[in-house]
Amino acid sequence: MKAAFLHYGKLLLSSFILFIAVITVLFFLLEIAPGDPVQALLGDSPVSDEFRAQIVASFGLDKSVWERYFIYLGNTLTGNLGLSFGSSMTVAELIMSRIGNTLALALPAFVISTAGGIFLGAIAARTRSKALDGAISGTSVAFFSLPNFWLGLILIMIFSIWLGWLPTQGKSPYGQDGIALQYLILPVITMATTELAYKARIMRSSMIEALGQDFIDTARSKGLSRDRVMWRHALPNALLPMITVSGYSLGFALAGSVVVERVFGWPGMGLLLYDAVQRSNNQVVLGVVIVITISILIINFLTDVVYGLVDPRVRAKFARSSRSAS
């Protein structure tokens, strides 16, 4: 148990260091970016030097780079992401109002793509029919090669414009709050498809590798049926790499949501990032990026924890080292 705590403690520490590294890089990128934020705030109208100095001081811009770096670091760590330019909300409030909408896309897409990818990949690896394997593998390479924003455009064209079955933009009818199901369908499909194809590819090779192991032959020669060996012996082993792959890909899905949200005008964190980039609203850009970073770090950490709980080899390693320690 002690070994496990030590291991995950180290993992948490390295996540934290990575986080600091990301903030540091972002801060210095902002620092070397062209443009004068004070001038941008004041606009073109002439102002007195005292007023300008007052503005500079009120934003702490008269301090040295290092002082400002540590202030920024401290603010970020305490959840203060600054004020949004041209909005009455703080950046943190702005992001919190959007993050739920992004999760409403990312989580269903995650569940669909993981379940579907595991199922199709396992079938493709197991089947004796070359045609079925070829069909699944071929389709997954094709979808894996598809730019997902283009898939979204095509889906809108077919289902919204030609057939008129589903809405094109937004998350609910005008004037209504919440998320309406028919608005959710196309973006979730768009987000899930490439993920599913990717996971099916990984699952197929992972399953083929598992089926090639000696213990499969042992189980078969014990007289167990092909199906039992497949689902009880090969599948659990093949699923281990899938934990890592799908966990890590969830973080990337959050980062990639900006494209899908742009296609469907979905008011999530990604669209917030897009709008902020278009308007060079730097505080919001950095805020969203920091939140994405934190999410990826948390997701990756949880992935590692789940992996450690599930893989008996990792459990055994912890048990061994704690026995030898005591």
Partner 1 sequence: MTVDNTSVGSGGTRVGDPGLGGSNSIDAIREDDILDAPPTGAVPTAPRGRKVDSVWKLYFRKPGTIAFLIVLAVVAIASFIGPYFAGNPVATVNPTLLPPSFEFPMGTDQLGRDYLPRVLLGGQVSLLVGFTVALLCMTLGLIIGGLAGFYGGLADAFLVKVAEFFQVLPGIVLALVAAALFGANIWVIVIILSVTMWPAVARIVRAEALRISQLGYVESARAAGFHSTRILWSDVIPNAMPPVIVATTMTVGRAILIESALAFLGIGDAEQPSWGALLNSAQSYMATGWWLALFPGLCIFLVVLAINMLGDSLNDSLNPSIGKVK
147 binds partner 1 (CB under 8 A): yes
Question: Exactly one of 33, 41, 57, 132 binds partner 1 (CB under 8 A); which one?
Answer: 33
274 binds partner 1 (CB under 8 A): yes
Question: Exactly one of 2, 14, 97, 302 binds partner 1 (CB under 8 A); which one?
Answer: 14
Name the segment binding partner 1 (CB under 8 A); options: 84-92, 102-110, 111-119, 306-314: 306-314
How many residues make contact with partner 1 (CB under 8 A)? 77
Site map (CB under 8 A) of partner 1, residues 150-179, x = contact = x--xx-xx---x------------------
| Contact indicator for 151, 75 with CB cutoff of 8 Å | no
CA distance 301 to 309: 12
Please report, to the nearest 10 degrees, the dihedral formed by the alpha carbons of residues 281, 175, 148, 191 taken in order: 100
**Residue 89: both structure tokens together:** 């909300």
Question: Exactly one of 19, 27, 59, 159 binds partner 1 (CB under 8 A); which one?
Answer: 19
Helices (H), 167-213: 181-211
Question: Exactly one of 135, 180, 240, 319 binds partner 1 (CB under 8 A); which one?
Answer: 240
Name the segment binding partner 1 (CB under 8 A); options: 49-57, 58-66, 69-77, 308-316: 308-316
Residues 195-224 contacting partner 1, CB under 8 A: 198, 201-202, 205-206, 208-209, 211-212, 216
| C-beta closer to partner 1: residue 11 or 112 | 11
CA distance 257 to 195: 12
CA distance 82 to 79: 9
Kindly tell me the sign of the dihedral angle through the C-alpha atoms of 253, 254, 257, 259: negative
CA distance 162 to 156: 9
Strand partners, 131: none
118 binds partner 1 (CB under 8 A): no
Question: Exactly one of 244, 319, 321, 322 binds partner 1 (CB under 8 A); which one?
Answer: 244
132 binds partner 1 (CB under 8 A): no
Name the segment binding partner 1 (CB under 8 A); options: 56-64, 98-106, 111-119, 248-256: 248-256
Longest CA–CA separation in the chain, Å: 91
Half-sphere exposure (Cβ direction) of 18: Cα atoms closer than 13 Å: 14
